[in-house]
Structure 1
Amino acid sequence: MEIRAAQESELEQVVDLNCIAFNPNQHERYWQYVRGDSSYRLSQTRVVVVNNRVVSTLRVWERRIRIGASLVTMGGIGGVCTDSKYRGVGYASALMRDTIGYLQTIGCDIGVLFTIIPEEFYHRFGWTSFPLKGFAFQFNSATTTETRSDWQIRTFKLETDLDTVASIYDAANAQQSGTISRTRAYWDMEPSRIRGILPTVIAHQNGNIGGYLNYEIDGACAKVHEVGHLPDNPDVLDALVLHLLQTCAVDKIEEIKGIFSPQHPFVQRLKTTCKGEISPITDTAMMLYAVRLPVLLRHLVVEWESQIAASEESFPQIAVKFPIVNNQQAVLRYDGHNTIQIVDNAPDAVSLEMSEEDFWQLLFGEIGWEQMNLDDSVSPEVSAFLAMLFPKRDVIFWYPDRY
């Protein structure tokens, strides 16, 4: 058994293996994941080779993800599969373990994957589930309130609209924890197009685009994949909601759903317009791995120090020890004068006793410090400091960015 980067001559085997494992009719799709991705490097395709045959493979997608408003380097894991004749031997397990070393080598801070099999397989290798919140809404056109908007809706036009839509995405998600940083080239890559990154419609007024909506009609369900608008034009959402509801009425849709926060202003406007109740749903496909925990936390220091300065509060010297995550320890040390350091250990540090699941949700903001139920081992001063660093945020990983 040999675990390594794929060779050019082995890519056809990799594509064939993906077809066998996932969809036999998507040969061109899997080739475009390689040929159509301007960021692709051969080393990103990891393989297990036995007797000159590729028996197991996965793909690493190098991206940047926001934790709060801070960008960190992410290694996305996708396309994990093994030839059916070689399953049960442990090849995929060995490949997953080896890939962590590869992520460290290329400088990734965090690993992210979306599983289509039970999470237990990845739990064995230290991956932690990160549930994403979503919503489901039973649509009834009879209860919909008629609304009006000065914004007009039309179909997205690739040739004229993409640059503006990309700019709107950047503005709308600059502070949005969980989102991917999309370069302009990212929008043009074939893998992005295949996964449906382009909007369905845009909202415009006086020739200016103010927002967009990405959705699909799947049988009796309308799936909302993404919504974006300029921060100073929140009323554009009313026009996008109205368009979606009109489409649902024509197509006799029974349910509207999406994997992003029920508290998102688009969803709240949807609820108000339809006079109905939103049912929260949870998607458990996302899983995380701390590739380089201390480095990951150091990328968050600038934002943390900015939050301290903006709070205009004073705190004493504080040291807190995070839980061990993927066999790594890190301590946050504050000097009392607006400077934070991340160190490996400190004898005077207060230990934060929490699970790895809670650690990740606290870091991204899915739960705030004030929601944590820790015992009295954390003093009021330390608790106030952590509440300021770790506020509650909505976390969104837009569906078209999955791999």
Structure 2
Amino acid sequence: MNATIETRGATEKDYPQIYELLDKVMYSTSEQLKGRYRNYPGTKPEHSRTTVVDGKVVSHVRLYMAEAYYGNATIKIGFIGDVCTDPEHRRKGYGAACLRNGIRYFAEKGCHISMIFSGVLGFYASEGWRLYPVSASVVNVEYLKPVPQEGNITVRRFERASDLAAVAEVYEKFNRNRFLPVKRTIKYWQNSFYWLHGEREENFYVAEKDDRIIGYSRISGNQVTEMCYLPEFPEAVPALWNSIVKWVEHWARRGVLEKELRVSVPADHALYPILKRVPLFHEITYYTMLLRVISFQGLLQALIPFFSEHVTEDFSQAFDLDGEVVTLSRENGRWSVSPGGKDAVAISSEEFFTRFLGLPVYDPPSRPAEVQDLLVHLFPLHVSHFYHLDSL
């Protein structure tokens, strides 16, 4: 007798089976994930995409959607997490069916790209995702020392009830016009504490000057996951760093801290020169971020405010991104994006995302010089950065 197989969005009634599957397969327990499923902004049961065989949930992916900064533009990212299949039902295409179903859902909701954080490449690569680097700085805790700090700045522990709005403002002002940080609404901030499990709030510090919060830092495990500051107050950084040094000394004396501290800040951050002066400083690169375009046309349309800052001459050029042909034009100062086009220049996902992330690219010798020049202006070199909190 043939099995009844269906891939679809979950309903409230499916949650008990989903949680049972997560407990069976995932490293995180369903109790941990319930906090995220209940509190992620806009969450719905249908954000779990499932393959159901004879009434039993055997495969699952969870979808999360958020807007992110890209310079002065805003893009919409579809994140995928909690991917699992019952061991008894693997190698039957059920997981791939969930991913494809999720991509269609993202497309319906207007997402431009999809992002996954995973150490598993082959499975996702076969479904169109490509792997890109994420970097972190590493310092040996034995060599950490306080640094000189300026101004009348005090550092204290974060108090959620009184500090959250000010911290959210610091995050927004620091990350506005940067590349790929998620746009966190105040509700996102409030609800995020329900799904954080590696962070303790006593490791969350704020820097104040004249009773105003001007910066903050967060530590999770052996990693400084965030340090943001108001752009006009870079002096918050040495003060926050000195509080981290004290934290390291405290826990190192108790023998519960690893030898290395990882620090996740962009390379243009005011902390970076301080880190580079620490003996044995080095950087590591993780290959755990996977990206896939959902709508090339929609993405280019969303990026027009960014393009407008870098391209000032009229042009019309068709691009073929893995089979999706789109024409990007500027005529008399007005931008447009339309499907199709003649004489399209082929661009692979790998090349596109390398440019999108602000990394240098080797241009194919056969490509016309004017097209190469256009791509350089559309996607100039820059520093992209993504925060640990948002990597679901």
TM-score, normalized by the shorter chain, greater than 0.5: yes
Mapping of 1:1-400 within 5 angstroms? Answer: 1-23=5-27, 26-116=29-119, 118-141=120-143, 144=145, 146-149=147-150, 150-190=152-192, 193-194=195-196, 196=199, 200-216=204-220, 218=221, 222-252=222-252, 254-272=259-277, 274=278, 276-308=279-311, 315=313, 317-325=314-322, 327-335=323-331, 337-348=332-343, 351=345, 354-365=347-358, 367-368=359-360, 371-375=361-365, 377-379=367-369, 381-400=370-389
Instruction: Give the aligned CA root-mean-square deviation in angstroms.
Output: 2.3
Q: How far, CA to CA, are the matches of 1:5 and 1:109 in structure 2?
A: 20
What amino acid sits opposite 2:148 in the alignment? T
Stretches of structure 1 that go unaligned for 5 or more consecutive residues are: 310-314
SS at match of 1:140: helix
Deviation at 1:155?
0.7
What TM-score, normalized to structure 2?
0.89
Q: How far, CA to CA, are the matches of 1:58 and 1:377 in structure 2?
A: 39
Deviation at 1:183?
0.9
Say whether the 8 Å CA contact 1:67–1:363 is kept in structure 2: no
Counterpart of 1:312 in structure 2 is none
Q: How far, CA to CA, are the matches of 1:332 and 1:127 in structure 2?
A: 24
Q: How far, CA to CA, are the matches of 1:377 and 1:14 in structure 2?
A: 49
Please give the per-residue CA displacement for 1:222-249, whole angstroms capped at 9, x wherever unaligned.
3111111001001111111122122223
Structure 1 residues 38 and 363: alpha-carbon distance in aligned structure 2, compared to 1, 3 A threshold: closer
Q: How far, CA to CA, are the matches of 2:41 and 2:338 in structure 1?
A: 37
Say whether the 8 Å CA contact 2:321–2:347 is kept in structure 1: no
Deviation at 1:55?
0.6
Q: How far, CA to CA, are the matches of 1:146 and 1:61 in structure 2?
A: 40
Say whether the 8 Å CA contact 1:132–1:395 is kept in structure 2: no
Q: How far, CA to CA, are the matches of 2:265 and 2:340 in structure 1?
A: 37
Stretches of structure 2 that go unaligned for 5 or more consecutive residues are: none
Deviation at 1:323?
4.4
Structure 1 residues 153 and 93: alpha-carbon distance in aligned structure 2, compared to 1, 3 A threshold: same
Structure 1 residues 385 and 85: alpha-carbon distance in aligned structure 2, compared to 1, 3 A threshold: closer
Say whether the 8 Å CA contact 2:115–2:291 is kept in structure 1: yes
Deviation at 1:69?
3.0
Structure 1 residues 363 and 331: alpha-carbon distance in aligned structure 2, compared to 1, 3 A threshold: farther
Say whether the 8 Å CA contact 1:63–1:74 is kept in structure 2: yes
Deviation at 1:188?
1.4
Q: How far, CA to CA, are the matches of 1:319 and 1:138 in structure 2?
A: 52
Structure 1 residues 375 and 289: alpha-carbon distance in aligned structure 2, compared to 1, 3 A threshold: same
Q: How far, CA to CA, are the matches of 1:385 and 1:339 in structure 2?
A: 16
Is 1:402 paired with 2:391? yes
Deviation at 1:341?
2.2
Task: Tell me which moved more, 42-51 or 195-204.
Answer: 195-204
Deviation at 1:173?
0.6
Say whether the 8 Å CA contact 1:319–1:346 is kept in structure 2: no
Please give the per-residue CA displacement for 1:18-58, whole angstroms capped at 9, x wherever unaligned.
1111147x332222222233411121111111111111111
What amino acid sits opposite 1:286 in the alignment? M
What TM-score, normalized to structure 1?
0.87
Q: How far, CA to CA, are the matches of 2:364 and 2:249 in structure 1?
A: 48
What amino acid sits opposite 1:129 in the alignment? L
Q: How far, CA to CA, are the matches of 1:38 and 1:342 in structure 2?
A: 30
Say whether the 8 Å CA contact 2:39–2:191 is kept in structure 1: yes
Report sequence identity in percent.
23
Say whether the 8 Å CA contact 1:192–1:401 is kept in structure 2: no
Say whether the 8 Å CA contact 1:49–1:56 is kept in structure 2: yes
Structure 1 residues 192 and 319: alpha-carbon distance in aligned structure 2, compared to 1, 3 A threshold: farther
Which one has a larger percent strand, Structure 1 or Structure 2?
A: 2
SS at match of 2:325: coil
What amino acid sits opposite 1:290 in the alignment? V
Deviation at 1:174?
0.7
SS at match of 1:302: helix
Please give the per-residue CA displacement for 1:330-366, whole angstroms capped at 9, x wherever unaligned.
232233x3233223333355x2x5542221121232x
What amino acid sits opposite 2:296 in the alignment? L
SS at match of 2:321: coil
Structure 1 residues 67 and 148: alpha-carbon distance in aligned structure 2, compared to 1, 3 A threshold: closer
Q: How far, CA to CA, are the matches of 2:193 and 2:206 in structure 1?
A: 22
Deviation at 1:207?
1.0
SS at match of 1:284: strand
Deviation at 1:376?
5.9
SS at match of 2:155: strand
